Amino acid sequence: MKKHYAFDYLVFIGRFQPFHLGHHKVVTCALEKAEQVIILVGSCFQPQSLRNPWSFAERAEFIQQSFNKEDQQRLLIQALPDDMYNDENWLSRVQDAVSGVSSQFPQKLGSRELTIGLIGRAKDHSSYYLSRFPQWKSVNVDSFKDLSSTPLREQYFLEGEVAEAFPPAVQRYLEDFKLSKSYQKITSEWQFIQRYKSAWDKAPYVPMFITVDAVVIQSGHILLVERKAKLGQGQLALPGGFLDANEKLSDAVIRELREETRIKVPVPVLVGSITKTTVFDDPHRSDRGRTVTHAFLIKLKPDAKGLPKVKGGDDAKHAYWVPLGDLQSEQLFEDHFHIINAMLD
């Protein structure tokens, strides 16, 4: 006799960086209550960083291998890209993902409406999601030993310890991952951040930093630099940097743009081509700490001579004009892909 479930689908949203026993408890509870469980893996297609060490494919494997084959067949794991500066777009992505999955299993004519719920851990960041989708019933699951991925990641990369807080399959993967170049790179960046933040240990308040970024557009191309320093070494980024103590934001962005790209455009033309400025302040946008950036959109007029000549300088190894259609979120530093999308919207 087929088991009757309270839900056709339960939806679990998380980053799973990595998948630990607290997540496992939520999925186990969902499998008891729903015929199928939709797991939306957030922060997909991001550049590798301290906050996002593992790809969607790796995290999907973490989840799949933590359950038996029978349960695996009831898990529907989908990628959920971030949209850091447009919450409505992100909500729509979640709805589209759930609709897309559920439509693959059409109901018989005259059958009841699908029952869909959203499941998450109570008293935890995921409980925020439970209030964002009023069309779905929410299911709270008590937190398991107050587990959190952030301290577990730090323990893993700084101390090399694979905690028992992970399912056995994830533990085995993490042990193997320690032999990879990616592990060495991320460990080095963790150590860099520890030293970087130690300089501010005696500050009376949490330090906050102000930066500027230049979004320079001409003829369907955007000007990017390749970073040569930690963090994000080798990743593409917007030209930019920290605000000096005695300069205005608009002066800082032109200074950083010229220092990092050596762009062959006169300063008055650059200043006159600024069409928009926006603040980007997501608390998690930078691993370096609380960093608020001011982005300036600089739209240069098309020129029959072609794109202005550029050359990497200062903190930039190289400078490039990149067709907008070729941008790939995995290659762009921190939240720069999201900044570009927001500035060009």
Please give the CATH topology (third level) of the domain spanning 208-344: Nucleoside Triphosphate Pyrophosphohydrolase (3.90.79)
Of 3.10.580.10, 3.40.50.620, 3.40.50.2300, 1.10.10.60, which CATH number belongs to 7-177? 3.40.50.620
Tokens describing residue 129: 């999601």
Cα–Cα distance measured from residue 256 to residue 252, given in angstroms and rounded to the nearest whole number: 6
Q: How confident is the model at residue 109, as a pLDDT?
A: 47
Q: How confident is the model at residue 124, as a pLDDT?
A: 58
Q: How confident is the model at residue 130, as a pLDDT?
A: 73
Tokens describing residue 211: 């930066």
Which residues of the chain form CATH 3.40.50.620?
7-177
Burial of 212 (0-12, 13-18, 19+ CB in 10 A): buried
Evaluate the omega torsion of the peptide bond into residue 18 and state whether it is cis, within 30 degrees of 0. Answer: yes
Which residues of the chain form CATH 3.90.79.10?
208-344
pLDDT tens for the chain, residues 1 to 345: 567 899 999 999 999 999 999 999 999 999 999 999 999 999 999 999 999 999 999 999 999 999 999 999 999 999 999 999 998 999 999 999 999 887 776 655 445 678 999 999 865 555 667 778 889 999 999 888 888 999 999 999 999 999 999 999 999 999 999 999 999 999 999 999 988 888 888 888 888 999 999 999 999 999 999 998 888 889 999 999 999 999 999 999 999 999 999 999 999 999 999 999 999 999 999 998 899 999 999 999 998 889 999 998 877 889 999 999 999 999 999 999 999 999 998
CA atoms within 13 A on the CB side of 30: 30
Q: How confident is the model at residue 106, as a pLDDT?
A: 60
Helix (H/G/I), strand (E/B), else coil: 128:
helix
Q: How confident is the model at residue 122, as a pLDDT?
A: 66
